[in-house]
Amino acid sequence: MSSPEINSTQQDIDTPPTPLAPAEKGSSLWRDAWHRLQKNKMALLGLVVMVAMCIIALLTPWITVYGYEEQNLLLGASPPSAAHWLGTDTLGRDLLTRILYGSRISLAVGFIATAVALLIGVIYGTVAGYMGGRIDAAMMRLVDILYALPFMIFIILLMVIFGRNILLLFLAIGAVEWLTMARIVRGQVQSLRQQEFVEAAVSIGLGPWAIIRRHLIPNTLGPVIVYTTLTIPSVMLLESFLSFLGLGIQPPQSSWGLLISYGVETMEEYPWLLIFPGLALSLTLFALNFLGDGLRDALDPRASKD
Amino acid sequence: MSEDTGQNVLSVDDLSISFKTRDGSSKAVDAVNFHIARGETLAIVGESGSGKSVTCYSLLGLIPQPPGVIESGVAQFTSQGQQRDLLRSDKQALRSLLGNKIALIFQDPMTCLNPYLTIGEQLIEPLCQHKNHTREQARNRAIELLQEVGIKNAEARFTSYPHEFSGGMRQRVMIAMALITEPELLIADEPTTALDVTIQAQILDLLDKLKKQRNIALIFISHDLSVVASIADRVAVMRAGKIVEAGKTQQIFKQPRHAYTQQLLASVPSGAKPAQACQPNPQAPALLKIEHLKTVFEQGKAGLFSARPAPTIAVNDVSFELRHHEILGLVGESGSGKSTLGRSVIQLIKPTAGRVQLDGQELTQLSSKQLKPLRQRMQMIFQDPYASLNPRMTVFDTLAEPLLYHRIATRKNVTPRVLALMDDVGLAHAAIRKYPHEFSGGQRQRIAIGRAIATKPEVIIADEPVSALDVTIQAQILELILALVERHNLSMLFISHDLSVVRTIADRVLVMHQGQVIERGDTETLWAAPQESYTQSLLAAVPHL
């Protein structure tokens, strides 16, 4: 039993503890996920595009030459030129400037509304999934009811009661989007709750909040992050849609949805007014979708280390 | 091992397979040779990851390529005078062999049967496909075969769905399905691992009988040496992709030459519990007292027009005592209620009736807040070390959690205590920041055991703590458990389906059947003279080396 060959397989008999050995940094699931994400070139590209967009959006007031409401009625709608790279609109406003300012609104709506959805959805879903039984049934029926409400009417009502307000728009969209998030998280938590490590936590004596916070929420993060990246584009589309209908952002402020709706009206004469905002929105949606796709694969716990 | 290649159904030469991973390629099968003739049983034995399944699946083209690469080898399959190299056959040719001349039986019959088709439908499918039978012929043939594998009332069961069969019966159906095309080679991959011990004995008998009757070559893949001992003619022991030793069963078991084979054999639990320095005192007062415990599970809800289905009584009027410094074994087959009993005792499941007293204090009436201080004194070790550790928590987090939560230590002084725990369960200090998925099964179970003893409990409930582990690892963990019981003066309820394991570790044993404890006694007394017929049949079914 002392053949060296044997010893090599007894990985389970650990080497005697050496107190001075430096602790090896574990390769966490996150780092594995990051490794896998790096292999997915499209997802990486999506990430780079998104980061670049956010930086540009933040710096917009300092890098633009024109103001977003700065009109040049003499110029009118002009096609792309050296002075106005993406052309101007019918009021002679620089389109590039308006797209950049629009990105601030669109991205902010995307991120803030998604954050609202995330916060409500994760907490609500976790509580429902963990409590189970009647509480779960009651909570999820409420979600079903909200799902059934036509959300356009809901938002129009909000706008009528509280007036037009960008913050309200964020909240309204977030308040609609959390429903799906809650369902996803609840499903996750229900299956996690059966796992032995949650039973182990109970037998240690942990209370429900500690279990939810330490054991359940961290384990739902994978699917949640993925769903989040897929929610952001859908929220941005929603804002575009609302602005398009005249319920969202109002001129002279600008958002991509607004620009697109404007562009549609003048599509025949001044196609660049539709094409460039459309491209900006599409680029963002592509980037986020590729990123979300990549994250889904990277965070899949079933994926091996390769 | 090459005596007579003339009659061999299958002879494999120099088979090497590797898998590509991120860190390069790893060799799963390394220059493997074996052969098998008709009417012979070859057992391929090895622990998980030894390459035993990969070897057999590669012959049937069932290895995904990539990442798998067959680097070298010849697998000559001889059928009716025709020779064919399985590794170099195209998909079409393999498909006509698989499920026809070569058949497979898997570990878990439920996942291999289509739940939406009746078993009859699934049985006759290969006949219609490979043998051009009419449906009527195929049906008669299938019913005949179902009778042969021991399905009673085969005619009626022909139209049953897979979920209507028990695990053992499903495995019989699988066997019938494998045999229906009269294969010459049958590959059984851990066919009895998912089954209870009494059912396992029946399936082994059946396989052996069918092999003899039909003169089939049977390749039996297993991790369990004692199962193999009763069925194999020859044994090949695999480790890390290599066959380290092969020979006649008798010879391998009586005179193992390779050190690894010797180690495997030594790890198989057998015999009585080793005498310990300090024996439990039979006169000591009971630490844990269970009286008339009953746990009932409600089934579903009453529908609008239907009454509520009858509840399942998982634990029915069980009483026992656990004394100081005693390991009490609790054995039973799946569904006997032993796990529910363990969870009811530790209040993970609220029992429906009865009393659980820890050191004189009644637990069943307490709220979870009142239970919290008592939880320190009673802990649990779970079966599956892959599921019982939070994948997002490092070893440090896992072990520190109970200490911090019960205020045994503060954030500042918890690290030395965690390190001491790691020493206790034999984990290297360097691993403190690692995550569960970076450890092997045995090491994970060490972490789980560390968590259980962190609060210095008096009682530990161990629910199948070694069932998910390889046999050599199992022996190490059992040793660790015994050492910890000794060192920390623990009392333990040790739940297991494996009677040999229980015998090596328990002082006293309870036998559970259909929710009730039907027999109890000192381990060796019970083994020597079991009173109940159920206990007798359980003990008789245990495979021996």
Please provide the DSSP assignment of A21-32 as one string. Answer: SPPPPP--HHHH
Look at residue B305 and tell me whether its pLDDT is greater than 90: no
Burial of B58 (0-12, 13-18, 19+ CB in 10 A): buried
Q: Is A222 within a domain?
A: yes
Size of interface A-B (CB pairs under 8 A): 148
Residue B431: pLDDT over 90: no
Chain A residues in contact with B371 by the CB 8 A cut-off are 205
Mean pLDDT of B287-301: 83
Same fold, B1-101+184-266 and B287-298+310-386+456-541: yes
Give yes or no for A17 touching B (CB within 8 A).
Answer: yes
Task: Considering the domain delimited by B1-101+184-266, tell me its CATH architecture.
Answer: 3-Layer(aba) Sandwich (3.40)
Would you call B473 and A12 a contact, using CB atoms and an 8 Å cutoff?
yes
> Per residue in B396-417, pLDDT tens?
999 999 999 888 888 888 999 9
H helices, E strands: number in chain A: 12, 0
Residue B112 reports pLDDT greater than 50: yes
Tell me the H-state helices in B113-196.
Answer: 119-130, 135-148, 154-157, 167-179
Distance of alpha carbon B177 from alpha carbon A6, whole angstroms:
40
Amino acid identity, residue B103?
A
| Contact indicator for B186, B153 with CB cutoff of 8 Å | no
pLDDT-derived band of residue B511, with 50, 70 and 90 as boundaries? Answer: very high
Residues A89 and B128: their CA atoms lie apart, in Å, by 72
* ipTM rounded to 2 decimals: 0.75
- Whether B76 and chain A come into contact, CB under 8 Å, resolves to no
Please report whether residue A71 resides in a domain. no
Contact check, Cβ <8 Å, B455/A10: no
Q: Which residues contact A230 (CB under 8 A, 6 or more apart)?
A: A288, A289, A292
| CATH T-level assignment (fold) for domain B287-298+310-386+456-541 | Rossmann fold (3.40.50)
Residue A275 lies in a domain: yes
Q: What is the pLDDT of residue A234?
A: 81
Assess A34–B contact: CB distance below 8 Å, yes or no: no
Instruction: Indicate the residue of B375, B423, B430 with minimum beta-carbon distance to A23.
Output: B430
In a domain, A304, yes or no: no
Which residue of A32, A194, A197, A215 to mutate against B (max B Cβ within 10 Å)? A197
Judged by CB atoms closer than 8 Å, whether chains meet at B419 and A19 is answered as yes
Cβ contact, residue pair A203, B346, below 8 Å: yes
Q: Where are the domains of chain B?
A: 1-101+184-266, 109-180, 287-298+310-386+456-541
- Has residue A41 been placed in a domain? no
- Res. B451 pLDDT band, cuts 50 70 90: very high
Beta-strand relationship, B312-323 and B353-358: unpaired
Query: Distance between CA B113 and CA B122 in Å, rounded?
Result: 8
Number of H helices, E strands in chain B: 20, 20
- Mutation for B interface: A25, A36, A204, most B CBs within 10 A: A204
* Structural domains counted in chain A: 1
Query: Cβ separation of A205 and B239 shorter than 8 Å?
Result: no
Chain A residues within 8 A of B394 when measuring between CB atoms: 26, 28
Inside any domain, residue A68 = no
For chain A, state the CA radius of gyration. 25
B371 vs A28, A199, A205: nearest CB: A205
Least confident of B21-35, B114-128, B303-317, B466-480: B303-317
Q: Retrieve residue A65's tokens.
A: 């030459």
Task: Indicate the average pLDDT of chain B.
Answer: 84
Strand partners of residue B397: none
Q: Which residue from B239, B380, B435 is facing A29, i.e. has the nearest CB? A: B435
Helix axes A95-131, A272-299, angle to 10 degrees: 30
Residues B407-424 as b or e (16 or more Cβ within 10 Å = b): ebbeeeebeebbbebbeb
Cβ burial B286-308 (10 Å sphere, 16+ → b, else e): bbbbbbebbbbeeeeeeeeeeee
Distances (CA, A) of B538 to B195, B503, B545: 13, 13, 17
Residues of B in contact with A200 (CB under 8 A): 380, 382, 388-389, 448, 451
Residues of chain A with pLDDT under 50: 1-25, 304-306
Under an 8 A CB cutoff, do A25 and B390 touch?
Answer: no
Q: What is the pLDDT of residues A41-55, one digit of tens each?
A: 888 898 999 899 889
CA distance B528 to B523: 9
The Cα B513–Cα B499 span in angstroms is 14
Proportion of chain B above pLDDT 70, given as a percent: 94
Query: What does the DSSP assignment read for A78-90?
Result: ----SSSTT-B-T
The CATH number for A243's domain is 1.10.3720.10
CA distance A133 to A124: 15
Nearest to A306 among B21, B260, B394 (CB): B21
The whole domain housing A226 covers 47-59+87-299
Other C-beta atoms closer than 10 Å to the C-beta of A19 total 8
Within the 176-215 window of chain A, which residues sit less than 8 Å (CB to CB) from chain B? 195-197, 199-207, 210, 214-215
Q: Are B314 and B296 in contact (CB under 8 A)?
A: yes
- A204 inside domain: yes
Question: Is residue A9 assigned to a domain?
Answer: no
Higher pLDDT, A73 or B336: B336
When comparing pLDDT for B68 and A49, which is higher?
Answer: A49
pLDDT digits (tens, 9 = 90+) for B228-284: 888 889 999 988 888 888 888 888 888 888 888 888 888 888 777 776 645 666 677
Q: What is the pLDDT of residue B332?
A: 87
B419 interfacial to chain A (CB closer than 8 Å): yes
For residue B369, what pLDDT is reported?
A: 84
Mean pLDDT of B207-214: 86
- Nearest beta carbon to residue A204 from set B402, B440, B473: B402
Sheet holding B234-239, edge to edge: B102-105, B185-189, B217-222, B41-45, B234-239, B242-248
A-interface mutation test, from B369, B417, B429, B479, most A Cβ less than 10 A away: B429
The shortest CB-CB distance from B389 to any of A9, A21, A197 is to A197
Residues contacting residue B86 through CB under 8 Å, at least 6 positions apart: B10, B59, B60, B61, B75, B76, B77, B94, B97
Give residue-wise pLDDT tens across range B3-59. 444 578 888 888 888 888 766 777 888 888 888 888 889 999 888 878 888 888 888
**Which residues does chain B have within 8 Å of residue A205's beta carbon, measured at their own beta carbons?**
371-373, 375-376, 402, 405-406
